[in-house]
Structures are given as C-alpha cells and as structure tokens.
Amino acid sequence: MKILVTGGAGYIGSHMVRTLGEKGHDVVILDNLCTGFRESVLYGRLVVADLADRAMLDELFLSEKFDAVAHFAAYIVVDESVREPAKYYRNNFVNALNLIEACIGHGVDKFIFSSTAAVYGIPNRVPVAEESLLLPINPYGASKCMVEQVLHDVSRSGRLRHVALRYFNVAGADPLVRLGQRSKDATHLITVSLRTAIGMRKELSIFGTDYDTPDGTCIRDYIHIDDLIHAHMLALEHLSGGGASRVFNCGYGHGYSVREVVQMVKQITGIDFPVREVDRRDGDPPALVADSLSISKELGWKPIHDDLAYIIKTAWEWEKKLHGKR
C-alpha cells in the first residue's frame, strides 16, 4: 500500500515508518521537523512541509495516490497546552481538519489517528473503557477529542473510515537501537529519569506524593512503542479489509506508580540519581489505566512487551547511544 505518515520523523511516527518500510509498504512522510528529525526517517520519502498549507496538501494528494493516512503530527506537551491553548487547537485540530478534508477531497478513505488517554480527563473508574465519558481537562486532550468527533461525523457521512487509537503512556525504543525519544526537552517520566541517570539533569522531580494511590504518586499504564505500532498495523489491516470505523484504547491494563518507575530506572541503569519530591503538576489525573479488551477482541491485538524492565532497558540503550555517554 502507499501510505502517508504525518509526523513520521517524530518519536511514534518514526517507529511506524520503520515497520511499514520493513513490511514493504510505500511510505511518504510529511513532517515540518519542528520536533521531528530527518535521521529518524528510516524508509520512504520525506516531504518537509506543514499541514497548515492546504495547497501543498492538494498537490501532494494529487501527485501521490495514497491508500491510507496515518496521522501522528501533533503537539503533545500537556502543560504547554494549558499555557498556549490556541497553539494546540491550531496544530492538533485545525491542521488535522486540513488533512481530513484533503482525504475527503481526494478519495482517501482509510485514516488512522493518534489519539490519547487524555481525552478521558480524570476517569471515575480505572481501568477506563472506550465508552467512558470524554471530559478532557486540558487543551491537549480537548484538541484530540475534537478531531475524534470530526472523524466520527465524517465516517458517518460515509466519506472515510477511521481507527482512532487512544494511547496511554508510550515509552521504550526500537530494540535495534535505531530509533527512540529524541527531543531535547522531553517531559516524559522515563526519558527524564534516564537523562537524570546519565547526568544530563541534576535531579528528577516527583510531581506530587499526596495522591490517593498506594504510594501517593500517580499511576500510569506504560506501553512499549512496538506493541503500540503493532496496534496501528492491525488497524490498517482492519480498514483495508473493509472494517468499520472504531476507537480503541492502547495500554496493558495495569499501571506503575511514579516511584515504582523511578526505582526500576535506578535498577536497570545501576545509577542512584537524586530525586526531589515537589508539588503536583497541573492537570495530572491520579491514575490512568487502559481497559484494552476491545482491541484485543476485535483486532486480535496481543502485546508482547508488557514488562516495565524491558521498556526501560530499550529506552536506556537508546539514551546511551543518543547522548554518547557511559
């Protein structure tokens, strides 16, 4: 198939491009490189352009006959979205709408969308299932929720079919250490912890120790990037086989606290770095754990890396390679 991957030079998109390329698909990557890296594109043809550019999209869709689109390009930093909401609505919502309109206009009828557990806000029950209320508590989650709504409505009109995957906490790296989280100012717990271990940061802050959880820190469902990519491949097969539009959670169904993750990072790296307990970070739900039964049942998704040690080990190998230390 010929597949357009937006954000294919970023963390998750680049792993998708790798897998599509390995499986022999023809891949075109659209990325403005604002947070992505040219070197992360292992297969296909990279077009450096911005989704805000409708004329460019029309030209691209005219010159390449795409069978499907996988849309990863987005801003992802929750607290930045609180400070700069318009930036998030423009890039995550308006630009996604441009892409969806290009699909409709050019008859591309298969669409895979990177959504997020942030659409749930603070769920009143965990594990949280897809039918739960969507009450995002920050502009990041709201912007993704709005795109889901558009896709739902466009699907109902019969113009395309989509699968929206609601990611929980994606972490880890390519086992062959070719790809991983690259951005300099990463905010994710595992990356920040590893960078503290490597000496790039003085200490790790634990944001809040007074949550209503067993050890007082937040609980998250950490999922290895390759299991997540496998979910995308199954979604692509589902749509190619004529499957209907669907929304699925992607997580393992159990979580780890911040303290447990930090402990595991220290164990894997063998480095005891300084940790400081500070106030809660705005917009953090106490616990976010996926009920992923639907994707397992309907697409046959069987994760194979449900192991925090493995997730951290692959991320650690990547950090060492990226920063050339230890």
Residues forming the active site: 140
- Cα distance between residue 176 and residue 96, in whole Å: 32
Question: Among all residues, whose Cβ is closest to ligand UFG?
Answer: 218
Closest CA to 2 of 50, 36, 43, 58: 43
- Smallest distance, Å, CB 94 to ligand UFG? 19
Is 198 or 204 the residue whose CB approaches ligand UFG more closely? 204
| Structure tokens belonging to residue 220 | 């998250």
Residue 31 C-beta-side C-alpha neighbours within 13 Å = 28
- Smallest distance, Å, CB 205 to ligand UFG? 5
Is 196 or 238 the residue whose CB approaches ligand UFG more closely? 196
- Smallest distance, Å, CB 298 to ligand UFG? 22
Is 2 or 281 the residue whose CB approaches ligand UFG more closely? 281
- Smallest distance, Å, CB 63 to ligand UFG? 33
Is 44 or 285 the residue whose CB approaches ligand UFG more closely? 285
Is 167 or 301 the residue whose CB approaches ligand UFG more closely? 167
Is 173 or 258 the residue whose CB approaches ligand UFG more closely? 258
Cα distances (Å, whole numbers) of residue 136 to 11, 32, 106, 251, 298:
23, 27, 32, 18, 26
- Smallest distance, Å, CB 203 to ligand UFG? 10
Phi, psi of 113 (to 5 degrees): -120, 130
Residue with the two structure tokens 């209503």: 212
- Smallest distance, Å, CB 257 to ligand UFG? 9
- Cα distance between residue 41 and residue 34, in whole Å: 14
**Which residues in this chain contact ligand UFG in the complex, by CB under 6 A?**
76, 78, 116-118, 168-169, 187-189, 192, 204-207, 218, 220, 258, 281, 284, 288
